[in-house]
Amino acid sequence: MANVVDQGDQTDVSNVINEQIAAKISYLQELQQAISQHDDRKIYALLDNQRYASAILHTEKQENDHGVINLVDNLSDQLSNYLSANLIKYLGKAYPFFYYEEYQQGHFKVFFGNWWDRREFGELDVLNIRFAFDQDEYVKLTQSFELAKNNKRFNSEKIQTISEQNDQLQDLIDHSREREMHKAQIQDQLKETNTKGGMPWESGKQKEARQALIDELSELEDQDEQARNASKQIKSNEAKVLVLSKENTILSYEQKSILDTFGSFADFEAANRNLYADYLHTFMNEKQVDDND
């Protein structure tokens, strides 16, 4: 016998479906109206009601209805592009040292500074109102601030090590003639030990002396080999120092930019954490001004 669905159950399912459809239609209508009215604050509230309620309304019990929010997943790039105009305008004042490039619709690279060799510092996540910093670059910046407390720069130790190596290489070049003279003396001494005879009990001492001369000669020849390649290595090291020095300069520009704007690196980090709330509050402040007018 075929299964029979109770008519009451069908009615209940139908009601649930109709409620869900109504909720989806209502959500899309609200979003459409917010876009038509250029109400960015409302758009952000609709995209993540839970976060908006927590950060702006300071209520913790709101939950996102992913069933309706997911309706606009395929519009994320377009929405990001749309919302970026006001956000980047705001960031231009809040973070005057950051610059943005939309390399794909709704996707923005963040550059630190407008100077030569500026860094690509990460990306701007428009829909979540946050910076997705490149971790390697961010760690460099963080460490440079820590080192600055002790009047040190990020690459100072590396530069010092390379400079000392270059001094050693240059010293090998400068003393080539002295080594040649010393090698000639050792070779004469070796010839003398080869031809000079001695008592049987002196043969052990002669072998030790001869081995010592051979070892010294070998060390001098190793130094000659290093000296032959020294000029090339010095140039390579100088190029490395130039790159490291440039990086130090860029980091100093970045530090100064942050200090001029925020006063400290800690305040810069705090601003990053509070960016979502700080930005959306500007719309509420604008509304209050408009209401007062």
pLDDT tens figures, 36-71? 999 999 999 999 999 999 999 888 777 888 888 889
* Distance from chain centroid for Cα 243: 17
Where is pLDDT greater, at 172 or 106?
106
Residue pair 247/154 in contact by the 8 Å Cβ criterion = yes
Compute the distance between CA of residue 238 and CA of residue 240 in angstroms, rounded to an integer: 5
More confident residue, 17 or 261: 261
- Amino acid, res. 194: N
Q: What is the SS3 assignment for 98?
A: strand
Residue 228 one-letter amino acid = R
- Which of 105, 136, 104 has the alpha carbon at shortest distance from 120? 136
Q: Does the pLDDT at position 179 exceed 80?
A: no
- The rounded distance, in Å, linking the Cα atoms of 241 and 131 is 31
Whether the CA torsion 101, 103, 106, 112 is positive or negative: it is negative
CA dihedral sign, ordered 220, 226, 228, 230: negative
The first and second tokens of residue 43, run together, are 């758009």
Burial call 86-105: b when 16+ CB within 10 Å, e when fewer: bbbebbeeebebbbbeeeee
Q: Which residues pair with 124 in a beta bridge?
A: 108, 131
Can you list the positions of beta strands (E) in the chain? 98-104, 107-112, 119-125, 130-133
- pLDDT in the model for residue 63: 80
Distance between alpha carbon 231 and the CA centroid of its chain, in Å? 35
Single-letter amino acid, residue 12: D
Gap between the Cα atoms of 241 and 201, Å rounded: 57
Residue 235, token pair as written in the block: 């140039």
What is the C-alpha separation between 40 and 262, in angstroms, rounded? 26
Dist. CA 270–CA 45, nearest whole Å? 22
Q: What residues are paired with 44 via a beta bridge? A: none
Lowest mean pLDDT, pick from 63-72, 241-250, 256-265, 283-292? 283-292
pTM of structure: 0.79
Give the confidence band of 168 by pLDDT, cuts at 50, 70, 90: confident
What does the alpha-carbon distance between residue 98 and residue 90 come to, in Å, rounded to a whole number?
A: 11
Amino acid in the structure at residue 21: I
Mean residue pLDDT of the chain comes to 86
First to last CA, the chain: 74
Query: How large a percentage of the chain has pLDDT more than 70?
Result: 81
